[in-house]
Structure 1
Amino acid sequence: ETEKSDKPSPPLDVSVAFPQASPASVFPPSVSDYYRFDDLLSPEEKTLRMKVREFMEKEVAPIMAEYWEKAEFPFQILPKLADLGIAGFNTEGYGSPGLSITTSAIANAEIARVDASCSTFLLVHSALTEPEYGSDASAVNTTARKVEGGWIIDGQKRWIGNSTFADVLVIFARNITTNQINGYIVKKNSPGLKATKIANKIGVRIVQNGDILLKNVFVPDEDRLPGLNSFLDTNKVLAVSRVMVAWQPIGISMGVYDMCLRYLKERKQFGAPLAAFQLNQQKLSLMLGDIQAMTLVGWRLCKLYDKGKMTPGHASLGKSWITLRARETVVLGRELLGGNGILADFHVAKAFCDMEPIYTYEGTYDINS
């Protein structure tokens, strides 16, 4: 077995496929804010947005296609990712920054603009879904039985992000005494805990999703989450999560538009840049219009949440509608790149594939609608 090098990978060379191209590892400038959404942001929000954007473009963009192809997580980015100070987003305490939901969403979108997997890594990793219960989340079979000094957890979980390497897992389980859904912290290497990587995914391949088996896993009393006592509490978690997840496709769409516009300006056919043809301009305008609409819906959703006026229906409509529009946007983007639109090297195909799991998780389109 060959030794793995700690040296950074060389920039992707796409010159054979497209001699006129900028290196794919050099992410294009952000040009999708046509309605000047940035004017609505506070100075602090703008500063954080640019800080996250710079990190993602400089540190993450050059290596993402390689790690997406290998379906491995680039752990070397974690120290600098942690230095951004956004992990935990709007959670208060426990080392989290306690950002507003708006600030959290903006940072999340900037991450997803370059790579959806990094966004999912930070955002989606609680252990609720099971092999037999996805959309029917309230029917979980994993059980928690009270014993002296703690709880015994038995059951299975599926599709849990980061579960193969996480130090801490948040497990949703049914309290067999009350028949209510409770939350429990299960620590890495607990006896009876096993996590296995799910292979062969077509999207967010960098995220290490896993199957979790819990067999007589002991959890001490202090590791039961006191604020999670029923599925009503679980729904509160899901509502916030759906707001944040709704901003992932906004970021993905922004990145796809940025990449497509540069590509069409550089790529020449029939003696002219592809951007000069009105057929392509129409597709770009459709993409740009969708991005403005998605952004403003996401913005309004955040403001409703901040004012305490957001309902589960607001969150569900936002998540379902935005992901539907984003799905259409990335399809247009992939189409604009022609044959190169099926290569992960140009990032658009990667974003096209990454959009599918985001369209599906945190409530499918059908469940949310």
Structure 2
Amino acid sequence: MSVTADVRTGAAAGRFYPSDQYGFSSLLTENELAVLGRLRKVLDEQVQPLLADYWEAGEFPYQIAQPLFDLNLMEPSQPDGGATASGLYVGFRNFELARTDASVATFYNAQSGLFRTAVNLGGSAEQAAELDPKIRSFEYKGVFALTEPEHGSDIAGGLETSARRDGDTWIINGAKRWIGGAASADVLAVFARDEADQQVKAFLVQTDARGVAISKIHRKTSLRMMQNADIDFRDVTVPESARLQNVNSFADVAAMLRNMRSDVAWIAAGLQAGAYEAAVRYVKQRQQFGKSLGSFQLVQEKLATMLGNVTASLGMVVRLTQQQEQGIYADENSALAKMFCCARMRETVALAREVVGGNGITLDTDVARFHADAEAVYSYEGTHEINALIVGRAITGKGAFR
């Protein structure tokens, strides 16, 4: 694909992302780059202009959903008639979304990453075959409901939501918290502890089922556009046919998380790219002491560090994704990527805020939004500490979670 200059970022001709210094995106096919180009056009023209106002209001611009759905981003058609997206394409799709906005990336990934993974890994072959086409088209919208009000990092042993079997029916009681996109979903992939064997099971629960109560979490300072929810379950009945048949312990949930952490690492890399590119735009047009802010040595040093962080993060997630496509899945590998990329992200958005100065706390430059939203990405899908302990366990052979 012949890549022309990016109007919004001033990217040099021939480079798909101005923040992709080593050209990792050149590993994508022409068709994949074309799909990402169409995504960028929608993001630039229909999404970007809405972000500041909706972020400030703490609401999601649902009018952008259908244009994103219509792009068929999950499994775009291939020139040979196939419909299998590469892992690198999926990663750069998350990167492109997060480069524009972390809430938009999280909203899309709730369906394309979390919910789709829950169904395809947790469901039987029959369940996956039936539901995946509807998930790809967004005909069947779902979210991943694991975290609880009192259990986040300790969810493996602390999960309290219960499921009791009564014939061919399950009765679910409990609560979930921080569930992004729940209010606009059709179904919740709910993880609950089976009262009979104390093992974790998973169920597809309709959002309008009797006994399900969904309420928006207010007063957030990060991912303000993303509509996170508290969910209560009171004697909610679910048929056995709605149980994801391949989830029979928390080990099965951990296999899902192993995949999802790589998605979040890509989002962290994309968020860094967005913050870096916004900072570059600003320092090129801002004048101080009679000359361009970008001409100052200390500013250039910060920009170089930011670009190094983006480049290192991209290198890590690209290699992780290549390994996963070869069938190499290891908890410590995805945990290391999530931990490292999010730590670099935190530094990058802080440096972006610094070089933009006082204007860096306003939404007009985009930097403030990236700076605030990074805090949520830093914590979700496994905190820095939990991921470090997963890596540490692999290094030493000793678990240190307690």
TM-score, structure 2 as length reference: 0.81
Counterpart mapping for 1:208-227 below 5 A = 208-227=227-246
Cross-structure match for 2:273: 254
Identical-residue share of aligned pairs (%)? 41
Cross-structure match for 2:149: 131
1:33 aligned to 8, 11, 20, which one?
20
Cross-structure match for 1:107: 93
Structure 2 unpaired stretches of 5+: 1-6, 11-16, 77-82, 111-142, 389-402
Cross-structure match for 1:73: 60
Cross-structure match for 2:80: none
Rate the CA distance shift 1:40–1:98 in 2: closer, same or farther, 3 A.
closer
Q: What's the offset of the Cα at 1:38? A: 2.3
Structure 1 unpaired stretches of 5+: 1-25, 90-96
Aligned mates of 2:162, 2:380 — CA distance in 1: 23
Q: Which amino acid aligns with 2:197?
A: T
Q: Is contact 1:27-1:259 (8 Å) kept?
A: no
Aligned mates of 1:177, 1:98 — CA distance in 2: 40
RMSD: 1.5
Q: What's the offset of the Cα at 1:301? A: 0.7
Q: What's the offset of the Cα at 1:87? A: 4.8
Q: How many residues align?
A: 337
Q: Deviations over 1:148-174 (max 9, x none)?
A: 332110000010011123211110001
Cross-structure match for 2:320: 301
Residue 155 of structure 1 aligns to a residue whose secondary structure is strand
Cross-structure match for 1:344: 363
Residue 335 of structure 2 aligns to a residue whose secondary structure is helix
Q: What's the offset of the Cα at 1:178? A: 2.0
Q: Is contact 1:88-1:122 (8 Å) kept?
A: no
Aligned mates of 1:332, 1:202 — CA distance in 2: 19
Cross-structure match for 2:13: none
TM-score, structure 1 as length reference: 0.88
Q: Which amino acid aligns with 1:111?
A: L
Q: Deviations over 1:181-219 (max 9, x none)?
A: 111011021110001111111111111101100000011
Higher helix share: 2
Counterpart mapping for 1:1-369 below 5 A = 27-29=8-10, 30-87=17-74, 99-124=85-110, 125-138=143-156, 139-369=158-388
Q: Is contact 1:242-1:319 (8 Å) kept?
A: yes
Residue 73 of structure 1 aligns to a residue whose secondary structure is coil
Q: Deviations over 1:264-310 (max 9, x none)?
A: 11000111110111111111111111111110101011011111112
Aligned mates of 1:356, 1:133 — CA distance in 2: 19
Q: Which amino acid aligns with 1:67?
A: Y
Q: Deviations over 1:30-62 (max 9, x none)?
A: 421211222222223222222222221111110
Residue 204 of structure 1 aligns to a residue whose secondary structure is coil
Q: What's the offset of the Cα at 1:147? A: 1.4
